[in-house]
Amino acid sequence: MRNLAKTCAVVALCLGLTAGVATARTPVSNRGPLAGRPRPVAMVSMPQTPLIFGKVVGPGPTRLRAETTARVLANCPFRLMASFQGFGEQAAQRAPLPLTQMNVTINGKEMPIGKQYVEIATGGPTSRAGVEVPIVIEIKTAGALAYPAGQYGGNLAITVRGG
């Protein structure tokens, strides 16, 4: 009787182990045709130096321009997006320049000033080294006499979206 009990216990243990192995393998076979493919990834990097637009001179409308380059690395199609939140005087932390007196264009696309992102470039999957995307920012101001003298700063946000 003891031997029968031991044999039943060993058989039950073996059946339990094989059932555990079978259930561990089941999800692998049911993953479908996308199993093993890499997930879409898109990354962007920018130089850590500030953009210098120059000085506003004279009473009339002024056009300021700065250029930089973004490096995009993606294994899928990507969209490079940008937003510009306006200018404020850095030293005195005064109120920002009136948004109604500025017009911003990035890579030839006019942008609303604020946190809204606008597509500025697109591309397909890149090599392992990535691709460099030139970014040209142009800012037109209505007139310099209304603004206090000083150095101004702003936030340009660049992001990339895959897919």
* pLDDT single digits (tens) 46-102: 998 888 887 766 677 788 899 999 999 999 999 999 998 877 665 555 556 777 778
For residue 30, pLDDT beyond 60: no
> What is the number of residues in the chain?
163
User: Which residues, listed in sequence order, are joined to residue 13 by a DSSP beta bridge?
Assistant: none
d(CA 80, CA 93): 31
pLDDT of amino acid 37: 72
Is the Cβ–Cβ distance between 139 and 110 less than 8 Å?
A: no
pLDDT of amino acid 154: 80
d(CA 120, CA 54): 23
Token reading at 124: 């397909």
Give the angle subtended at the CA of 69 by the CAs of 137 and 47, to the nearest 5°: 105
d(CA 87, CA 51): 13
| Backbone phi and psi for residue 86, each to the nearest 5 degrees, phi listed first | 100, 180
Tokens 């879409």: give the residue. 40
